[in-house]
């Protein structure tokens, strides 16, 4: 069975209360439930994780090499700063979809740069919580 790691970075544990005008009112637990529904429909396996630390996210990416077929990553603000996360993704050579709730290109200039995009299979942004099921479908389709 196809196995996908869904990895959420810093501050995404606060979804629902964090800047709802930007990120919506959906909590991370709601998003996890949405992902579980989509995975059940497609018949694939998902692991859903959130961590605020760059090193912990890197460790999860490394571990995924042995356990998962692909990664969906909302790296939060590390998207715009982390060469280390980019290198981790390049090292494990798993297909990765970069995901954002907001349209980062319509926001502040510093959010227009993404280190993750440089190694991602594709990018989904601006669709709020619905981006997660979209990303699962896209990655599942890619993995065949
Ligand atoms: C985000 C966009 C990032 O710029 C921001 O730092 C986040 C969330 C999003 O999902 O829209 O933490 O990744």
Residue 71 lies in domain: 3-143
Positions marked catalytic:
23, 100
Question: Domains in the chain: how many in total?
Answer: 1
Q: Domain with 34 in it: what CATH number?
A: 3.40.50.9100
Is residue 135 lining ligand 1, measured as CB closer than 6 Å? no
In whole angstroms, give the CA distance from residue 131 to residue 15: 14
| Residue of 19, 21, 74 with the most ligand 1 atoms within 8 Å of its CB, for mutation | 74
- pTM greater than 0.95: yes
Q: Along the 144 residues of the chain, how does pLDDT read in single tens digits?
A: 999 999 999 999 999 999 999 999 999 999 999 999 999 999 999 999 999 999 999 999 999 999 999 999 999 999 999 999 999 999 999 999 999 999 999 999 999 999 999 999 999 999 999 999 999 999 999 999
Cβ-based neighbours of 20, under 8 Å, separated by 6 or more: none
């Amino acid at each position: 069975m196809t196995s996908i790691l869904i990895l959420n970075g810093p501050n995404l544990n606060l979804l629902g209360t964090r800047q709802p005008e930007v990120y919506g009112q959906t909590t991370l637990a709601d998003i996890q439930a949405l992902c579980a529904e989509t995975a059940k429909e497609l018949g694939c396996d998902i692991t859903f994780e959130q961590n605020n630390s760059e090193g912990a996210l890197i460790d999860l990416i490394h571990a995924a090499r042995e356990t998962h077929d692909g990664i969906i990553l909302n790296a939060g603000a590390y998207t715009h700063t982390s060469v280390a996360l980019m290198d981790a993704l390049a090292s494990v050579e798993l297909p990765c979809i970069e995901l954002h709730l907001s349209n980062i290109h319509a926001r502040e200039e510093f959010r227009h740069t993404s280190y993750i995009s440089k190694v991602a299979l594709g990018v989904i942004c601006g669709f709020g919580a619905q981006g997660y099921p979209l990303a699962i479908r896209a990655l599942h389709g890619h993995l065949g």
